[in-house]
Amino acid sequence: MKFNTVTIKDIAKALGLSTSTVSRALRGGYEISEETKKIVLEYAEKINYRPNPIALSLKERRSHSIGVVVSEIANNFFSQAINGVESVAYNRDYHVIITQSHERFDREVMNVEHLASRSVDGLLISLSSESSDISYLKSLHDKGLPMVFFDRITEEIHTHRVIADNLKGSFEATEYLISLGHKRIAHITNASHLSITRERLEGYKAALQRYQLPFNEDYVKHGKSQGIEQEEIDQAIRELFELPEPPEAIFIAQDKLSLFCLMAIKKLAPAHLEDIAIAGFTNANVVDLFSPSITAVRQPAFDMGKTATELLLQLIESKRPVEEFQTKVFNTELIFTNSHRISG
């Protein structure tokens, strides 16, 4: 089971040179005569020599690859962000290794440790909804593994962060629902310790307050930690509509939750389909097709992925320890669809 059978040794032997000369010639070392260089390069080309990256990693302690940890690639936000990551990484000759935590803490730890032990040069992480104790990350970070957090970030580790302006995005969405004349607005969101959950809840509250609407605890539904089951959202919707004063509008704080929520309403509350207003975070690019329609809070996922990667590569390639960290905040966009005008 060996490919890449061709090694530097083979070239050296064939050309009657030493391995070090060959090595230097291949990487264009200036001490090598043009002639030798030429011979070596031509021969290497001829026999299709490829350096063995594993040997390189072992030696150099780096791999020219970065690891990405997200909860679900099936989430539109993440798959778009990953495309942004790749666009930067490939241009700068880094490989991207994608892993999913499926919102589970143990999976996240396992992925991170595997990536670290495989000598990825850095990590791009969006925390799973189960991850509250992140000391395992902290210790890797302390040991010098560069990392950048995006989307679901933590304050506990001092490094670059890339997020959307969750507070503003939520405020605007809620405000929009209020502008439609609704007063009873529910909020469906993630596990409460996630950064995005807190910020989006804050935006929702801020809008209520701004328009002097009361905040009602009963209108807020947190997905359980796993938060990726239709079941859970069905239950939340049921409870909301069983309230003595059911909501007239719903604001949802996350991509998959938004879709589950539309499904749940269609299934469980068809009578309300026409009159309930829905807004929610989602990066689905077929949002125009949805019925019931939803006003989408869209994050610039691609750009966020790009920026996070640029920051990470900056950390990785910096000669001296970086002391100044940035938190880049991206604006969200509120997207109105006219599908309810067409089909409802």
- Among a copy of itself, DNA, none, what does residue 21 contact (CB within 5–8 Å per kind)? DNA
Residue among 224, 201, 205 nearest 214 (CA):
205
319 contacts DNA (rule: CB under 7 A) = no
118 binds, among a copy of itself, DNA, none (CB under 5 to 8 A by kind): a copy of itself
Residue numbers 21-60 binding DNA by CB under 7 A: 21, 23-27, 30-33, 35-36, 50-52, 55-56, 58-60
| Cβ atoms of residues 150 and 125 within 8 Å | yes
Give the phi and the psi of residue 135 in degrees, each rounded to 5: -60, -30
Minimum distance from CB of 83 to a copy of itself (Å)?
A: 8
State yes or no: residue 321 binds a copy of itself (CB under 8 A): no
Say how many CA atoms lie within 13 Å of 149 toward its Cβ. Answer: 23
Pick the binder of a copy of itself from 269, 273, 329, 334 (CB under 8 A).
273
- Does 268 engage in binding with a copy of itself (CB under 8 A)? no
Q: How many residues bind DNA (CB under 7 A)?
A: 29
Q: How does strand 249-252 pair with strand 185-189?
A: parallel
| Residue of 63, 58, 71, 140 whose CA lies nearest to 104 | 71
- 11 and 44 in contact (C-beta within 8 Å)? yes
- Per DSSP, the residues of 192-203 read TTSHHHHHHHHH
Paired strand residues for 68: 98, 124
- What is the nearest approach in angstroms of DNA to the Cβ of residue 111? 20
Structure letter (DSSP) for residue 291: S
Distances (CA, A) of 74 to 65, 96, 115, 285: 23, 17, 21, 13
Residue 71: contacted member of DNA, a copy of itself, none (CB under 5 to 8 Å, by partner type): none
Binding flag, residue 116, DNA (CB under 7 A): no
For a copy of itself, the binding residue among 9, 29, 47, 58 (CB under 8 A) is: 58
Radius of gyration of the chain (CA): 26
Q: Which residues bind a copy of itself (CB under 8 A)?
A: 1-5, 50, 52-55, 57-58, 61-62, 72-74, 76, 79-80, 82-83, 86, 95-100, 102, 113-114, 116-119, 121, 140, 143-145, 259, 262-263, 266-267, 270, 273, 284, 286, 288-292, 339, 342-344
Interaction site with DNA (CB under 7 A): 2, 7-9, 16-21, 23-27, 30-33, 35-36, 50-52, 55-56, 58-60
